Chains A and B, each alone.
Chain A
Amino acid sequence: MISQLSWKIGGQQGEGVESTDRIFSTALNRLGYYLYGYRHFSSRIKGGHTNNKIRISTKPIRAISDDLDILVAFDQESIDLNAKELRSGGVIVADAKFNPVVPDGIDAKLFAVPITAMAEELGTSLMKNMVASGASWALLGLPLEVFNKAVEEEFGRKGAAIVEKNIEAVKRGAEFVLEQAGGPLDAFKLDEADGMQKLFMIGNEAIGLGSIAAGCRLMSAYPITPASEIMEYLIKKLPKFGGTVIQTEDEIAAVTMAIGANYAGVRTMTASAGPGLSLMMEAIGLAGMTETPLVIVNTQRGGPSTGLPTKQEQSDLNAMIYGTHGEIPKIVIAPASIEDCFYDTIESFNLAEEYQVPVILMTDLQLSLGKQSCEPLDYGKIEIRRGKLAENVPALEGHDLFKRYELTEDGISPRVLPGEKGGLHHVTGVEHDETGRPSENAVNRQKMMDKRLGKLSGMYIRDAIRVDAPSEKPDLLIVGMGSTGGTIDEARRALAEDGITSNHVTVRQIHPFPTELLRPYLHNAKQVIVIENNATAQLASQIKMNAGFADKIESLLKYDGNPFLPSEVHKACKELSANGNVQRV
């Protein structure tokens, strides 16, 4: 019996790879397994190799695996490209249609299943996904009725006949492969899962759900990979809550519309990726200057320019921290798990209104699009805090205006929404006085700059850094952010077997940088390694610049478009511990 295994399906984009993965993993989720998915895809819709990989485990997992147990291939290219990942004794389930061959030097068992032929017998090659997932399911020796239940739910709306055909396709795939294999494969027999069905979702969906819970009722956005799922989710849901999604002509319109709507009192967000964020920068400055709450999601992808639009990267830190001209207060949060995506979205809306600043919620592609198990989300933890939102303010005298930018002790002024009789005031991106009127007065300028920039001093979000520090004086402190946490934890288990002690800090508050929280962990570690998906060590630079310790901070960088593998992190950490330096991945 094993506690985890990895399964991958490959084929041409548009050929059913996604749907095979979806139905297979939905059924596994029903049995209570923990799942972690990875999508390899390109910036095209039809054609070109694509593959989806899922890791299946009886325990929580948050990383893709180094190796692969089962590869399902719709074409020879999928075998040629992915067979090297197979561990010795792995299995290939391939469509007999293309006379599959196992490449030289690969120790794998091949089952050629007439996937396309069986699907066509049942009426349509579209049912390839059912034959293939049925065969996979059978090899694992899992109960077929659970799978059939998932099929019923997927196709129920299309009628009993369609359900029946799909169940038949599953059965044929399963029976064929079992006959070839002589029954389920003992080597792939998974321990029973806990039977507790988990939530199974992508980070973008968790963000969408979180925004509804946060009271966000408008989203203005422009489509872009890998952010579009957020708007697609919200356009399905927001009308039920009185709101809507508006697809704008560009990202500048998206962000400025969100600013207008937030100014007028509706929690509104926009979401984009690097190119869109670059276009939004001037407007982010406007939100900072006018103290208008604003939530922007940046689902990081490979940059610069169009870069690697469908690949993993964490290279927007500097742009998010420093982007926009002049100096404004701004919060940048990097959720590190699917649960974070939900709770941090809610918190982003609260912080944006409490501090009256733009908040950038910065995920990365793997976190945004990797489908994974999620712990139950707690309704009781949803909290809406709107800060100094003034209502029923007294009437104004003569030409008086409401002091929207009143100088206060904490720098945060009462905010009033348009429509309020006693709240008339001006808003401008020009430097202004307490009522919002333009002013170039030098004394006023300094006061207003100090007011705005002082708002975030000492501000820490909940879990600004997330710490797992079993050792008081570890050999290594490993620092990461975003989706890399699970990979780092797996590497640490291997390091423990090597006798190397390690602590792990995940930086979640990227800006303002949580220097003082991080400092003791940096101080106590013999060596520090910062792990990030970019080429210029942007997180490590923040740490060195803010906290120091430059002489003991090393970096492990990866910017080839792929997430880190546990083995890569393990190897680099081991080398660092032994030699004092790190080779590039």
Chain B
Amino acid sequence: MATFKEFRNNVKPNWCPGCGDFSIQAAIQRAAANVGLEPEQLAVVSGIGCSGRISGYINAYGFHGIHGRALPIAQGVKLANRELTVIASGGDGDGFAIGMGHTVHAIRRNLNITYIVMDNQIYGLTKGQTSPRSAEGFKTKSTPEGSIESTLSPLEIAMSAGATFVAQSFSSDLKQLTSLIEQGIKHEGFSLINVFSPCVTFNKINTYDWFKENIVNLEQFPDYDPSNRMLAMNKIMETNSMLTGLIYQNTSRKSYEDLITGFKQEALAKQDVMITSGEFDKLVAEFK
């Protein structure tokens, strides 16, 4: 069985020293090993941005796509080969700005993939512009007088879109994050894991210390029941989306793959492609 080291490669990430993304990378590698995957059984599909580079930093099948489209690419991979574990990943701009349409519909569709958002509340790779996750009043290069748009809550959106697995974590909490990714991978459906990942270069407000002060860890509430949708929604609102842990999980809804008529367990990519002459004649006969 592969250890987490086997999910490492020898590429040096181009992230800034201290970037939260390093821990997320480590958590994915540990979780993959912990659930018993081999590198070739994992496909990591990522978007564009600092965090989008992650597919190149994990020893697995990596697909670094285009901005905002990690999710549809990942869903295509999963439909073609459901035997693969598919992780989609990218930043908050990738998933909640340019790719928001895909995010909502991927949640609704509920294919069995895990989506890890590396949420730093800012555009890093383009050197510091506002993101849908930036707080109101947040000053950036594109909002010199402070953002005048409201902050988007991916958790609330995911819940209202019918998500079956909603979690949030903090890159510094490697233990919780690794565990949530493992649970997300094991979840039979779409899992959203939003991870606070401080940008040490361009975001001087939402720092490690700021998160430590503001985060509410669900572990504080031993009675919390993540299968209770209303409770989950309340908790998200109560904490202004600043909670971490497994917020909501619905294990009764089947994944998209399981709901497709006639869709086999065997990977579609491994099935025969040539039709028989009998099948062909039958198809053609409909046009006579």
Residues of A at the B interface (CB closer than 8 Å) are 29, 197-201, 205, 209, 212-215, 217-218, 220, 237, 239-244, 246, 248-250, 252-254, 256-268, 282-283, 286, 290, 374, 377, 379, 382, 384, 399, 401, 417-421, 423-430, 436-438
Contact = CB atoms under 8 A, between A and B. Distances in A.
B163 interface: no
What class of interface size applies to chain B in its complex with A?
35 or more
B40 A218 contact: no
Contacts of B261: 239, 244
Contacts of B41: 419
B277 to A, nearest CB: 5
Given A29-B288, A419-B81, A419-B84, A399 B76 contact: no
A17 to B, nearest CB: 21
Nearest to A244: B260
A259 B264 CA distance: 21
B56 A266 contact: no
B73 interface: yes
* A213, A258, A267, A426: residue with the most chain B Cβ atoms closer than 10 Å: A426
24 contacts: A199-B284, A213-B275, A214-B273, A250-B101, A256-B73, A259-B76, A260-B45, A260-B73, A264-B78, A264-B84, A265-B80, A266-B79, A266-B80, A282-B66, A283-B66, A379-B280, A401-B9, A418-B43, A419-B81, A421-B38, A424-B59, A427-B63, A429-B64, A429-B65
B108 to A, nearest CB: 9
A217 B268 contact: yes
Interface in B119-173: none
Contact of B40 (A199, A268, A384, A418): A418
Given A213-B275, A437-B56, A243 B268 contact: yes
Contacts of A239: 260-263
Interface string B44-79: 010000000101100111111110010111111111
Nearest to A206: B287
B283 interface: yes
Nearest to B270: A265
B74 A260 contact: yes
A454 B30 CA distance: 42
6 smallest beta-carbon distances between A and B, as pairs: A260-B76, A215-B273, A265-B269, A264-B80, A428-B64, A261-B76
Contacts, number: 195
A197 B286 CA distance: 12
Contacts of B1: none
B83 interface: yes
Contacts of A253: 69, 71-72, 101-102, 105
A282 B65 CA distance: 10
Contacts of B40: 418-421, 423-424
Given A209-B283, A266-B81, A428-B55, 16 more contacts: A198-B288, A212-B283, A213-B275, A215-B273, A217-B268, A239-B261, A241-B279, A250-B101, A259-B73, A260-B76, A260-B77, A265-B80, A382-B274, A401-B9, A427-B62, A428-B63
B252 interface: no
Contact of A240 (B64, B101, B262): B262
A267 B273 CA distance: 9
A200 B268 contact: no
Contacts of A401: 9
Contacts of A237: 283
B69 A217 contact: no
Contacts of B77: 260-261, 263-264, 418
B203 to A, nearest CB: 24
A523 B53 CA distance: 53
B262 A418 contact: no
A274 B279 CA distance: 33
Nearest to A238: B262
A277 B259 CA distance: 30
B39 interface: yes
B271 interface: yes
Contacts of A220: 72, 76
Nearest to B277: A379
B269 A266 contact: yes
A384 B274 contact: yes
B223 interface: no
Contacts of A215: 273-275
Nearest to A286: B66
B72 A252 contact: yes
